[in-house]
Amino acid sequence: MAQIFKAKKKPLKQQTLTLNITAMDHQGRGVAKHNNKVCFVSGALINEQVTARLIEDKAKYSSAKLIKVIKPSDARKAPFCQHYNQCGGCQLQHQEINQQVLDKQNAVTQLFKKFAKLSDLNWQPPLLSKPIHYRRSARIAVMYDKAAKKMRVGYRASGSKNVISIEKCDVLSEAFSDVFSIFETLINQHKALHSISHLQLCQNEAGNYIVIRHTKAINDEAKSYIQTAANAQKWLITWQDSSDVIEQAHLPTPYYFLDKFNLKFEFGLGNFIQVNDEVNQAMLAQSVNWLNLQKNEQVLDLFCGIGNFSLVLAQYAKSVIGVEGVASAVAMATQNAHTNSITNAHFHCFDLTQKIETAQWFNKSLEVLVLDPSRTGAMAVLKQLPLKQFKTILYVSCDPVTLARDSAIISQAGFELTKIGLMNMFPHTGHIETMALFQRR
């Protein structure tokens, strides 16, 4: 049998470095130089001098763990969360909120220079929300801790798969302030509940929902302990087994309402909705303002989900075609159009990696393109679309790297980036959401 030789990794030299932080990257890490390479330091801020321990040394970059801040930034502040140093949920609580936004904006600017060869971006005022209790949905992990010999309910530890127990989470809706302690207590008291693997929380106008995911059957007696505690908190409970089916027929249909547009959006508990309601409402208002649609214009909304953008834009355009790859989301989008008496928006389930020009819903009279893809971006779609038939493209991004990469494709097709704006959907984290408007030259 042939044996494949694998070179042994050289053990990393334990080094303590003194570093000067000159920038922040798009993940909220401090950037310094060490041995003529970029060195990323989580927890460090621009203009700080720090000591850090080298934890990774690659050919083109290195990473270091912050040990001590020698010279602090004026933007440094004490984190408000007691779990901040262990929890992997937030990365920027040690930084003043306005500086977080500025550094995110600067990081996006650098990515556009690198990938799209675009500079002097026309930045618009950022969309902001309250800095705490902004999350209306979240996924809570449940895992057995062998060392502690107990079940833990909380979030993943920073840089680890382990779960740390959380007492309270100040970025989560206050409706779920006791969810961690109540569930950790109940699960540890009743062995029948040990097959629970995570909790999916969703606060909306219909109520405060908890989907309890479990890997093995749970008897009715054990479920009743959860139900009693949930009733006291006015939580609406449903169970999801390994079949991935969420039973919610016994519960009111979840929905959110857009006040400015007088629109009601119903959704299934397995459907995607924006985590931050305040920023979502501002984002939709901004899209209307930037697009300035005319009543004779036809819109193509790709990755449309349950119709979040489509139904808003349908109030201003001649027609909207929404396309989405998830069948349940398309069904909800169609239902939402009916609920809101919108007749000029039509939805289609289609795999957007397939050839679009042959799709029955595609036509050459579509003039405005709206893109709201996942973190993987829209490159596959952009490469096959006849982009020159559109006069305007609105790109809503949840990953600045793929946005900058895709913007190069749009720019090369003859479009000018006329507006760009940050949407701080996730304060205190490294996540960056951006809206970009392109006009055909």
Q: How far apart are CA 258 and CA 280, in angstroms?
A: 9
Q: How far apart are CA 387 and CA 390, in angstroms?
A: 6
E strand or H helix that includes residue 270: none
Q: Residue 359 is encoded by which pair of tokens?
A: 């799709």
DSSP-assigned states of every residue in 123-170: BPPPB---SSS-BSEEEEEEEEETTTTEEEEEEEBTTSS-EEE-S--T
Q: How far apart are CA 36 and CA 61, in angstroms?
A: 9
Q: Is 398 a catalytic residue?
A: yes
307, 332 in Cβ contact below 8 A?
Answer: yes
Residue 418 phi, psi dihedral angles, 5° rounding: -95, -25
Q: How far apart are CA 330 and CA 308, in angstroms?
A: 11
Q: How far apart are CA 40 and CA 54, in angstroms?
A: 10
- Residue 290 identity: W
429, 276 in Cβ contact below 8 A?
Answer: no
Of 39, 81, 169, 398, which is the active-site residue?
Answer: 398
414, 307 in Cβ contact below 8 A?
Answer: no
Residue 214 phi, psi dihedral angles, 5° rounding: -140, 150
SS3 80: coil
Active site residues: 398
